Amino acid sequence: IAEWIGRARERDFRGAWEILTRHNPFPAIAGRICHHPCETACNRTSVDGALAICRLERFVGDRALAEGWAFAPPAAERSERVAVVGGGPAGLSAAYQLRRMGYAVTLVESRAALGGLMRHGIPSYRLARDVLDGEIARIVALGVDVRCGEALAGPGDLARLREQYAAVFVATGAQRQKRLPVLDYSAPWVLDGADYLARANAGAAPPLGRRVVVIGGGSAALDVARSARRAGHDVTVLCLEAVAQMPAQSDEVAEAREEGIAFVDGAMLASAAPRPGGGVDLTCVRVRFVPGAVRGQFTVTQLPGTAFTLAADAVVPSIGQDPDLAPFGDALGADGALLAVDRAQATGAQRVFAGGDVASMARFVTEAIGMGKRAAQAIDRLLSARAEDPPPRWDEPVVPLAAIATYYHPAQARAAERRRDVGERLDSDAEVQLGIDVEEALAETTRCYSCGTCIHCDNCVIYCPDLAVKPANGGYVVLGDYCKGCGICVVECPTGSMKMVEEQR
């Protein structure tokens, strides 16, 4: 992060984009929808506000689309062919990385267009379709063979792919809606959240009546609620969690409230009874929600004497999805409702890898992108006969705030967030969150502490009282014959790039 932000600070936006896309081919997409855990971890958080990394990434990604920057073709072509099943973020990421390595990649997608969750699950007011299409097209332009409308129907299809290709990456997502036992899903007033979103995103939102209750507390439930609000419905969100515990991003909750969506939090549906004149009465009860140690696990305790009723014309449950493992038969091992994979995304079947929602409960687009990259690297090690090589490390050393000489970084406010006016939002599918301009982006880059990344400021040379540090080969060396170990160079390093370690007593 510090490396590409440093390039952007020098106005080398193309260089910043090239560094970003080593890992993630979707900076403009991620800059809009990422849950940005990097900002939570930012050392500046406890000083004057975390760096706006997500919006900086969006700026660089948008710049690339506007300028028409393309990925460089592979340096050399490989003879091996790899199949990728699923054209969502994990599959597209794997296809991109493999193609950049020179492999011939065939991408098989069951739907008519690529994008997976990004297209069918995320509304255009969060992710503009020209942005989605532009970043996908750039991957396909690398020479990926795309076959849309071809589903993996059964174990025989997987067996044929394994025969025809040197390796297979499975990223078929999670399409099976989890169901509430107290709801009659055959009733005309019940509609699955994923079904509603897919239809709404395609411009054909089904009529639901005036009052809609959406059940769920995640981002998908918020997407359903906000899409229904744009379709003219009065929307209430019913969720087990307290608002502060909801897995949806806080920005989404705030924007939903601005748009007139009501929240009934800390409550669950107990029963549903259709009304003679139409609609349904939902009997609910207040609960105490305690999250578990693993995402998706929790404990709910009903609070006696807290029952209440919500009147609705339609109910749209959006409480999560599970993958459909039936097409794989017994060929791939399962871990509960998921495909079982190791740290390199390898399944129990030889030369078959898996990632994204079919193999993980980390239901974030950026997590899926990372899984696609990990799988591509593992496939490359396998097909290059380098299976004995240790897999790349995914954990980086943490640079604590105490290691940063913060007095070299003056206080500076984080870039202001801008959103489209509420009235304008509800009248269109235009993006709610607005980007930053070049001057705002440059100002934000100057806030970066460049944690752990040398910026060649020469402080270590200037402050050393013994002239024991000198520039060399684009970096610095410490002359052991002169260094007394006073540590002044470490203290005066503005980025925490230097540390002093005791070697022997």
| pLDDT-derived band at 423, boundaries 50, 70, 90 | confident
Contacts 24+ apart (CB under 8 A), 463-469: 463/488, 463/489, 463/492, 464/488, 464/489
Radius of gyration in angstroms for the set of CA atoms belonging to the chain, rounded to a whole number: 26
Enclosing H/E stretch for 300: strand 298-302
The amino acid occupying position 199 is: R
Count CB neighbours of 375 within 10 A.
31
271: helix, strand or coil: strand
List pLDDT tens digits, range 338-397: 999 999 999 999 999 999 999 998 889 999 999 999 999 999 999 998 655 665 665 667
Query: Parallel, antiparallel, or unpaired: how do β-strands 234-238 and 262-264 relate?
Result: parallel
| Residues 393, 184: Cα–Cα separation, whole Å | 48
Query: Mean pLDDT, to the nearest integer, of 56-62?
Result: 97
Q: Which residue has the higher pLDDT, 386 or 336?
A: 336
| pLDDT-derived band at 502, boundaries 50, 70, 90 | confident
Rounded to the nearest integer, the mean pLDDT of the chain is 93
| Residues 271, 273: Cα–Cα separation, whole Å | 7
The model's pTM is 0.91
List pLDDT tens digits, range 144-184: 999 999 999 889 999 999 999 999 999 999 988 899 999 99
pLDDT in the model for residue 363: 85
Asked if 168 and 352 touch (Cβ cutoff 8 Å), the reply is yes
Query: Mean pLDDT, to the nearest integer, of 190-216?
Result: 92
Q: Is 117 exposed, middle or buried (0-12, 13-18, 19+ CB in 10 A)?
A: buried
The residue behind tokens 């460049």 is 450
Percent of the chain scoring above 70 in pLDDT:
97
Query: Parallel, antiparallel, or unpaired: how do β-strands 145-148 and 176-177 relate?
Result: unpaired
pLDDT in the model for residue 397: 75
Contacts 24+ apart (CB under 8 A), 274-279: 274/187, 274/189, 275/311, 278/209, 278/313, 279/189, 279/209, 279/211, 279/311, 279/312, 279/313
Backbone angles phi, psi at 108, to 5 degrees: -105, 125
Count CB neighbours of 195 within 10 A.
14
Q: Which pair of structure tokens corresponds to residue 52?
A: 């706006």
DSSP 245: G
Q: Is 356 exposed, middle or buried (0-12, 13-18, 19+ CB in 10 A)?
A: buried
- Quickly list H helices, 216-323: 219-230, 250-258
List pLDDT tens digits, range 261-282: 999 999 999 999 998 888 899 9
| Residues 170, 334: Cα–Cα separation, whole Å | 13
CA dist 47 → 210, 242, 443, 455, 492 (Å): 47, 28, 17, 21, 18
Q: Is 153 exposed, middle or buried (0-12, 13-18, 19+ CB in 10 A)?
A: exposed
Q: What is the dihedral of CA 238, 239, 242, 246, to 10 degrees?
A: -120
| Residues 500, 493: Cα–Cα separation, whole Å | 12
